[in-house]
Structure 1
Amino acid sequence: MLVEQIMTRDVVTLSPDNTLQEALDISRRHRVRHLPVVKDGNLVGLISDRDLRAAAPSILDKAGDDSILCDVRVEQLMVKEVITAHPLDFAEDAASQIYKHFIGCLPVVTQDKLVGIVTERDVLRTLVEMMGVNAPTSRIEVEVPDKSGMLAQISDLLRARRINTSAVMVFPSEKEGYKTIVFRIRTMDPRGFIKDIEAAGYRVILHPYAVTDGEV
């Protein structure tokens, strides 16, 4: 999945000449936490609601001067060295950048022109969709030897049961020489599939049912 598939295209932006009060009003009106700063269509900075709140006088400070928000321009507070993404970047690479740099968003640019924005929420929504948890499914974890062909063998068992798969993930196992395959499958009663896995000699680590005796 690419960044252009998950990004928000209708981006709320600011001008460097906007005041902090205007920026705060826009942030509240549109309920957005990250505001790219654009000049002539080019991305020149980024400001967040956290930056704006930090600049605002505390409500506990009786001597605080509210007029400061009207006197200071966005360009004086904005971050100018902005980490960005390209529309054709992979979504997981964008997620890695957000995680690595402890940031809340990535403006998406093409030749310095702002074309979208990817936020933490976009990444989380994409993860939920990719893992198949936004639809009725069952989650099965299977421990298999860490060698080629294991996924195909388990998939053959699914095909024999005519069970469709929503998502598959592979993780290292705590047991040396093994790996864990996690399936999201489109059935609410996976007991037959679980029995097939165990009959094939593999260990089911986690599943929603205890397998009972008798035919399924």
Structure 2
Amino acid sequence: MQVHEVMSRAIRSVSPDAKVMEVASIMCLYRIPGIPVVADDGELVGIIAEKDVLHSLFPKLENLMEEGMGNVDLDKQIAKYKDVLALSVSDLMTRNPITVSPDMHVLRAASVMVRHRFRRLPVAHEGMLVGMLSLGDLHKAIFHLNVATKKLAKD
């Protein structure tokens, strides 16, 4: 079984010039933890995840050194979220994301995901985004192949 057989082709993506506000809205409204970043020509140039957005709220090392861990005003850090929303996706995205190819075996793709502790990965062909693959997609396809179809065959 290959990735192209189980990947999702209905993909939401954003441009590097999009504002983080747009991305955060999509993430929160549709419960999408990460969104591929695609250039105007369709080339996959990055991925932006909730962790990228939230990471920008963490105190900087310099602040921790000056103020000490216990003295950092975390509520003040949260208030900086409005500033983060004004940034461009290119300011926060992970560039050159790990991808899988559509013709890769699903278990090889699963091993890439497990090794990197990702639940979702972009599927790219010659640098162009063609789909997204999640562990849930893989599990469902393998379950269906081994359990659901065998149960139907018995009936």
- Coarse TM-score class (shorter-chain normalised): 0.7 to 0.9
Match of 1:87 among 98, 102, 118: 102
Tell me, which stretches of 5 or more residues in structure 2 are unaligned?
A: 59-73
AA aligned to 1:112 is G
More strand by share: 1
Partner of 1:52: 53
User: Aligned-pair distance for 1:135?
Assistant: 6.6
Deviations 1:140-184 (A, max 9, x none): xxxxxxxxxxxxxxxxxxxxxxxx5xxxxxxxxxxxxxxxxxxxx
Please tell me whether residue 29 in structure 1 is matched to residue 44 in structure 2.
no
- The 5 A counterparts of 1:106-145 are 106-132=121-147, 134=148, 137=151
Partner of 1:101: 116
Pick 1 or 2: higher relative contact order, CA cutoff 8 A, min separation 6: 2
More helix by share: 2
> Aligned pairs, how many?
138
User: Aligned-pair distance for 1:56?
Assistant: 5.1
Partner of 2:19: 19
Structure 2: distance between partners of 1:33 and 1:20: 13
**Contact kept? 1:109, 1:115, Cα under 8 Å:** yes
Report percent identity of matched pairs: 29
Deviations 1:99-156 (A, max 9, x none): 1111122211111111101012212212322331x4785xxxxxxxxxxxxxxxxxxx
Give TM-score, length-normalised by structure 1.
0.57
Tell me, which stretches of 5 or more residues in structure 1 are unaligned?
A: 138-163, 165-185, 188-216
Query: Larger C-alpha radius of gyration, 1 or 2?
Result: 1
Aligned with 1:9: secondary structure? coil
Partner of 2:91: 76
Moved more, 6-15 or 79-88: 79-88
CA RMSD, Structure 1 to Structure 2 (Å): 2.4
